[in-house]
Amino acid sequence: MNICFISREYPPQTGWGGIGTYTRIIAQALAARGHAVHVIAVSNTGSAFEYADHAVHAVHVHRVLPLPFPLPQGKALYRFRQAARAFAFNTLVRLSWAKAAGEKYRELAKTKNFDIVESAECGAEAFYVKPRDGARLVIRLHTPWSMAAKLDRIDEGRFDTWLTGYFERKTALRAHGVSSPTQALASILRKQWGLSRIVCYPNPLDADSFSAPALPGNYIIYTGRVERRKGVHLLVQAYGMLIKKGIDMPGLLLVGAPFGGIAGQGPYEESIERLIDSLGVREKITWIKKADRDEVVRKLPGACMAVFPSLWENFPYACLEAMAAGLPVVASRCGGYEEIIEEGRSGVLAAPGNAEDLTQCIERMITDTCLAQTCGQGGRERVRVLCNTDAVVLRTEQLYGECAHG
């Protein structure tokens, strides 16, 4: 098959999160199976360029620059353009990238004869893609921006967030196939977007590519973007409570870039810094704010456990990678975590948004070495089976085949 992925995120240049990690892993796995794979991703260098990603088999990567805002021109529409920039600025930023990706896709499609085009729903990146000559559009659900923005309380305006959600839904509804790594997100979007059929199968990850530590490390670790919906404020609060109880706590290592500003409160980064100072735990907490995925992977073996206290989550690679590295994990009892973690066997789940319950779960994992060992070993095996790349690729090929011949 000839396959094209459209993903603003694609490591290493723009490997900002789980969408980029998923896209690279699945693209390389499909290429290894003999498919011709192209990826259209954003350029952060100021110029467009192309290269072959040879990590496994060649994936052809096309980096493009966003285009000007997709607004009608002419003097008569000046006030409309001004209003659009004022009330829908962030949606226009997303559409300017989507339009560039759509134009690059049409250029490539003239000679590549794509069978499948896959893109995330987040940000409506495939909105301008019009598959030609039998090519089929597949949308992979990660978490819509319109949903994430509400959880993060992002201060970008209700209309702006709603409009992005409109384009996300419209793109998903015209797709020939929709897939999700979790039943949790599929259930929500079936109701909210009216998607009639969503195929569910996990995201891929090779657990054996991670080194499991021979002995427990000396710090608790959190990896991922530091934003409100990830619940990092709850982790800092729980850590402070444990220190106050007089428990001999290992250090806490946060690895991830700060993201988002909460309406009426300023940047989330500043609220976390203030919280750390107010609890008097500055000397016990280290925050690495700039780290690529390779550095994150290097930090995992030195940890004794990982904590992911999200308010809601789909299928987070940060948690999967920690489990693959053999770390006992405490996460929230919400969304995809409940489909990933088996309570007491591959991790422990805390009530979402509840710092007290999170405190108890962390204390339990710290003090019960038998539980920690069981969850560490069980978590690694869980990822090995659940996220087996070969199995996920077969499910992906099956969906592609159904879309191509349906």
pLDDT tens track for 317-371: 999 999 999 999 999 999 999 999 999 999 999 999 999 999 999 999 999 999 9
Whether 364 and 393 share a structural domain: no
SS (H, E, C) the chain: CEEEEECCCECCCECCCHHHHHHHHHHHHHHHCCCEEEEEEECCCCCCEEEEECCCCCEEEEEECCCCCCCCCCHHHHHHHHHHHHHCHHHHHHHHHHHHHHHHHHHHHHHHCCCEEEEECHHHCCCCCCCCCCCEEEEECCCCHHHHHHHHCECCCHHHHHHHHHHHHHHHHCCCEEEECCHHHHHHHHHHHCCCCCEECCCCCCHHHCCCCCCCCCEEEEECCECHHHCHHHHHHHHHHHHHCCCCCCEEEEECCECCEECCCEEHHHHHHHHHHHCCCHHHEEEECCCCHHHHHHHHHHCCEEEECCCCCCCCHHHHHHHHCCCCEEEECCCCHHHHCCECCCEEEECCCCHHHHHHHHHHHHHCHHHHHHHHHHHHHHHHHHCCHHHHHHHHHHHHHHHHHC
Among 90-99, 205-214, 382-391, the minimum mean pLDDT is found in 205-214
Do 239 and 358 lie in a common domain?
yes
| 168 and 179 within one domain | yes
Q: The domain spanning residue 52 has which CATH number?
A: 3.40.50.2000
Same domain, yes or no: 32 and 168 = yes
Q: Give the confidence band of 169 by pLDDT, cuts at 50, 70, 90.
A: very high
Q: Give the model's pLDDT for residue 189.
A: 97
Q: What's the total number of domains in the chain? A: 2
Q: Are residues 178 and 270 in the same domain?
A: no
Do 263 and 337 lie in one domain? The reply is yes
Do residues 136 and 119 both lie within one domain?
A: yes
Specify the pTM: 0.93
pLDDT of 18 above 80: yes
Residues 214, 199 share a domain: no
**Are 245 and 187 in the same domain?**
no
Q: Tens of pLDDT along 204-260?
A: 999 999 887 777 789 999 999 999 999 999 999 999 999 999 998 999 999 999 988
Same domain, 255 and 335: yes
Question: Do 265 and 350 have their domain in common?
Answer: yes
Domain identity same for 179 and 292: no
Cβ contacts of 113 within 8 Å, gap of 6 or more:
2, 133, 135
38 vs 56, higher pLDDT: 38
pLDDT of residue 56: 58
Mean pLDDT, range 251-277, rounded to an integer: 89
- Identify the pLDDT of residue 354: 96
> Of residues 189 and 70, which shows the higher confidence score?
189
The domain of 328 spans 207-386
